[in-house]
Chain A
Amino acid sequence: DQQVKQNSPSLSVQEGRISILNCDYTNSMFDYFLWYKKYPAEGPTFLISISSIKDKNEDGRFTVFLNKSAKHLSLHIVPSQPGDSAVYFCAASAWGGSQGNLIFGKGTKLSVKP
């Protein structure tokens, strides 16, 4: 059973607009969440993270929002640029647990059109 779900396999956005990527989780023990970005033929690279003690974390054009009661997080990219076109993976962990492995969603492919 999937503990981290990215229900939209793909998203298409116009350059300059906002991109919103969503992620839901089921394990209430998760207390740390990360977003990774992956270009074709490359490994995923870390983008932004958020701890469960926060509800928002911002880094330049990227903001992650966490709604613990809904077990939902989202990544906002404003403004979107063509170079943001990639697959985005949401990941979660329970660091207080055994070893704190990251659990990944299946990814959302973002296409930003010029």
Chain B
Amino acid sequence: DVKVTQSSRYLVKRTGEKVFLECVQDMDHENMFWYRQDPGLGLRLIYFSYDVKMKEKGDIPEGYSVSREKKERFSLILESASTNQTSMYLCASTLGGSYGYTFGSGTRLTVV
């Protein structure tokens, strides 16, 4: 089974801090994604990547950046955390084609 691991389940950060959310997958998947989930808004795509060093903006990239230096690792960076970035962050990976996504367990980030 594919495993997608997010480094932290819960994080509390202060406004203005730089925050790194790490995601690692163990099945050599090309495609990786970062979403945030908020009540009533569903899953919103922040960034995605189809290959090492590649990144594409999703629907809500403002305030975020990403890094994919190795195939198995996709990092989400909050350059200067703000309270409106308090959310559940979900990482996913897929082989593509007709395969669905495998999600990590999520990181609940609170910015105070």
By DSSP majority rule, is chain B's interface helix, strand, loop, or mixed? Answer: strand
A43–B33 Cα distance when bound, in Å, is 13
Contact A99 B42 (CB under 8 A): no
Q: Which residues of B contact A32 (CB under 8 A)?
A: 98
Q: Which residues of A contact B41 (CB under 8 A)?
A: 106
Digitize B62-106: 1 where CB-to-A-CB distance is under 8 Å, 0 elsewhere: 000000000000000000000000001010100011101111111
Q: Which residues of B contact A36 (CB under 8 A)?
A: 100, 103
Interface size on A, residues (CB 8 A): 25
Contact A102 B103 (CB under 8 A): no
Contact B98 A46 (CB under 8 A): no
A1–B68 Cα distance when bound, in Å, is 30
With both beta carbons as reference points, the residue of chain A lying nearest to B31 in the complex is identified as A99
A106–B4 Cα distance when bound, in Å, is 23
| Partner-A contacts on B (CB < 8 A) | 4, 6, 9, 31, 33, 37, 40-43, 45, 48, 50, 88, 90, 92, 96-98, 100-106, 108
| Partner-B contacts on A (CB < 8 A) | 6, 9, 32, 34, 36, 38, 41-46, 49, 51, 89, 91, 95, 99-102, 104-107
